[in-house]
Amino acid sequence: MEIRPAIQIQAMIKSMIDVVLPAVDPEHKMAQEQAQLIIGTLKMMGQRLPLQFRYDRKELDEYVALSVELLKQMRGSEKTQSAMKELGASQVEGAAVLDRARAEPGELETAVFDLRAKVGALVKAVGADGEAASRDALKHLILDAAENQLQRELSWQAALGYSDPAELQPIENLIGVSPAR
Amino acid sequence: MLSIDKNRPPAEWIADLRRRFPCETEIDRILTSKLNRRAGPGYSPVSLETLSNGVKALLQQELKEPFEVVEAKWLSGGASKVQMEFKLQWNEPGVGRTTTRMVLRMEPAESAVETSRLREFQLIKAFEGILPVPKAYWADAEGKYFPYPAIIYGFATGVTKPTGSVSNVSGTGINFGPALRPIIGAQFVDHMARMHTMDWRQADLSAFDVPALGTQAVEWQINWWERVWEEDSNEDIPLMRFAADWLRQNMPPVDRLSVVHGDYRSGNFLYTEHDNRITAWLDWELGHLGDRHEDLGYALNLVHAHKSEDGKTVLYNGFMPKEALFEAYEKASGLSVSPKIVDYYRVLSTYKLTAVCIGSTYRIARGGKSHQDVLLAWLIGAGYVIAEDLRRVLKEV
């Protein structure tokens, strides 16, 4: 799926710099300033977006570690004990989330990219010298998989206005629930 | 992620693509040139002044009498080329001293469809007096006077859609409304028929290779677009691999060579609202010699269709259902329509458009290669609608 923020942000920055900003009235200082701020904000988003997940994971890692130490070292009466009890529950939950958050989003993308390429290569190979029965099965497998894939892609990009919204399912229904706790 | 870095294509990979996907000579030249330039710089904005100076430099070679280039301004529309409108004050041969509105159409560093300005120029010339087309004046096929190759043709008046109506980018999904539909629709069909019955052997089409009757024309088209998919796509799409194989296994022989427009659709012609007449057919860059069914198949793309007021009937290009299109075309052209062959070209045209909208637009926006990357990034979305059309057609055939 190619509709991704990375490419969209890069294209927006180029459009702002090459086309929009030169056309903004130089006398309209607020418009000039905000156009520059939009470019700056987009640049920051473009740089930081790939690191967002790692940043959050690092933060969670450190808070889990801090919580462990706090739970070890803090002592007190009713209020302290109550707060520690709540912290303890959240620390356990946080540690479980951290345990599941091992793969980078980029690794996920790479794995999908690789499988797409390998499936594509097999489709080509079967077209060249696959057995007749395999070719029949291939048609069903590939077209059925494409149906699910395209439903997801069309729902993902609904806001672009190319499809009738009434014919699309909410994207949340198509990409599953959050990972189980 | 890639074993081949398509943003810096190695020479041996380019040579391999040329060997695996033989195309017409001029198509091979422009696709190879695209890849050879790819590792170079992205598109830098070009000023109106630079383009006006390019026009002057070109005309100094072409015209013997004094001239002036005035009132240059940008034109929008289309997803592919940089366009500038200007007025030329000149001594037009056979007319005398006059002022003519013209359009400069120039390539960016990479185009959504990488094509030949010379072919576009020759096709427009070929249809002067046969179809409403802008008058073609000059071509700078090698980019001698401009930063990139360009052509200059006459400005055609008109609109692509009813004033006040809305459509998505690049003129997809135009709704002409019930009153206008039959009037423009009849011209849409009549012009297609005239294009396909035109005697192209009488025209200067030196930038075109002439395929043999049989499957050569089809094979060249498959090679062209599969090569583009290989050159430009980022992630693979197994559906595209399956479609390419299906296309090769099912090539229908061509019984009669016609000029095929290659992008014959609403949004690619202008009409004047005071008399509802089509004034100009534009965007001839994908034109070639081939099977008339190709334009008919292309005309059935769902991305250029919408439902009528009854909520059920699909109006292709905003005009008419499929059966009505076939019937009107046969009557206007005197040529037969094979629905089976049209279906074949529905697969080819959706394959081609998917390659352009998901493959080429991604690659260009990724490399910052055009004057409107943001529009191309938006256009990727059309690619998935077209890919879904491709999947449905493949399921039917």
The CATH number of whichever domain residue B169 belongs to comes to: 3.90.1200.10
Number of domains in chain B: 2
Q: Measuring CA to CA, how many Å separate B324 from each of B137, B184, B189?
A: 37, 14, 10
Q: Which two tokens stand for residue A121?
A: 């290569």
Q: Return the bridge partners of B74, or none.
A: B84
- In a domain, residue B5? The reply is no
The phi, psi pair for B318, rounded to 5°, reads 80, 15
Neighbours of A127 (CB within 10 A): 17
Q: For chain A, give the percent of residues with pLDDT over 90.
A: 91
**B44, B234, B373: residue with CB nearest A15:** B373
Q: Which two tokens stand for residue B118?
A: 């010379």
CA distance B197 to chain A (A): 34
CA distance B67 to chain A (A): 30
Q: What is the CATH number of the domain that holds B142?
A: 3.30.200.20
- In a domain, residue B3? The reply is no
- Of A14, A9, A73, the C-alpha closest to A42 is A9
| Residues B202 and B165 placed together within one structural domain of the fold | yes
- In a domain, residue B33? The reply is no
Segment B225-235 mean pLDDT: 97
| Residues B276 and B207 placed together within one structural domain of the fold | yes
| Residues B315 and B224 placed together within one structural domain of the fold | yes
- In a domain, residue B41? The reply is no
Q: Which two tokens stand for residue B130?
A: 């046969």
| Residues B66 and B81 placed together within one structural domain of the fold | yes
Instruction: Give the model's pLDDT for residue B293.
Output: 98
| Residues B222 and B357 placed together within one structural domain of the fold | yes
Rounded distance between C-alpha atoms, residue B198 and residue B346, angstroms = 23
B71 pLDDT higher than 80: yes
Q: B128, B154, B180 — which closes off a domain?
A: B154
| Residues B94 and B242 placed together within one structural domain of the fold | no
B171 pLDDT higher than 70: no
- In a domain, residue B228? The reply is yes
Rounded distance between C-alpha atoms, residue B313 and residue A14, angstroms = 41
Rounded distance between C-alpha atoms, residue B168 and residue A161, angstroms = 7
Q: B154, B188, B221 — which closes off a domain?
A: B154
- In a domain, residue B39? The reply is no
Check CB contact of B239 with chain A, cutoff 8 Å.
yes
| Residues B187 and B313 placed together within one structural domain of the fold | yes
Q: B133, B154, B175 — which closes off a domain?
A: B154
Give the pLDDT confidence of B238-261 residue by residue, as tens digits. 999 999 999 999 999 999 999 999
Dmax (CA) for chain B in angstroms is 62
| Identity of the residue numbered B137 | Y
List the domain range (segments joined by +) for residue B165: 11-23+159-396
Q: What is the band of B1 on the pLDDT scale with cuts at 50, 70, 90?
A: very low
Check CB contact of B238 with chain A, cutoff 8 Å.
yes
**B168, B172, B245: residue with CB nearest A127:** B245
| Residues B60 and B188 placed together within one structural domain of the fold | no
The nearest alpha carbon in chain A to B240 belongs to A120
Instruction: Give the model's pLDDT for residue B76.
Output: 77
Rounded distance between C-alpha atoms, residue B136 and residue B134, angstroms = 6
Q: Between vectors from CA B39 to CA B35 and to CA B42, what angle results, nearest 5°?
A: 105
Rounded distance between C-alpha atoms, residue B214 and residue B202, angstroms = 22
Neighbours of A156 (CB within 10 A): 18
Check CB contact of B250 with chain A, cutoff 8 Å.
no
3-state helix/strand/coil string of B135-171: CEEEEECCCCCCCCCEEEEECCCCECCCCCCCCCHHH
Long-range (24+ apart) CB contacts under 8 A made by A173-179 are A179/A100
Contact in structure between B139 and B118 (CB atoms under 8 Å): yes
| Residues B143 and B286 placed together within one structural domain of the fold | no
- In a domain, residue B283? The reply is yes
- In a domain, residue B37? The reply is no
Give the pLDDT confidence of B256-289 residue by residue, as tens digits. 999 999 999 999 999 999 999 999 999 999 999 9
Rounded distance between C-alpha atoms, residue B56 and residue B371, angstroms = 22
A179 pLDDT higher than 70: no
Give the pLDDT confidence of A68-100 residue by residue, as tens digits. 999 999 999 999 999 999 999 999 999 999 999
B194 pLDDT higher than 50: yes
B106 pLDDT higher than 60: yes
- In the DSSP assignment, the letter for residue A20 is I
| Residues B230 and B369 placed together within one structural domain of the fold | yes
Query: Which residues of A fall within a CB distance of 8 Å from B240?
Result: 120
Instruction: Give the model's pLDDT for residue B256.
Output: 96
Query: Which residues of A fall within a CB distance of 8 Å from B110?
Result: none
Are A12 and B374 inside 8 Å of each other by CB? yes
Segment B313-317 mean pLDDT: 95
Neighbours of A140 (CB within 10 A): 10
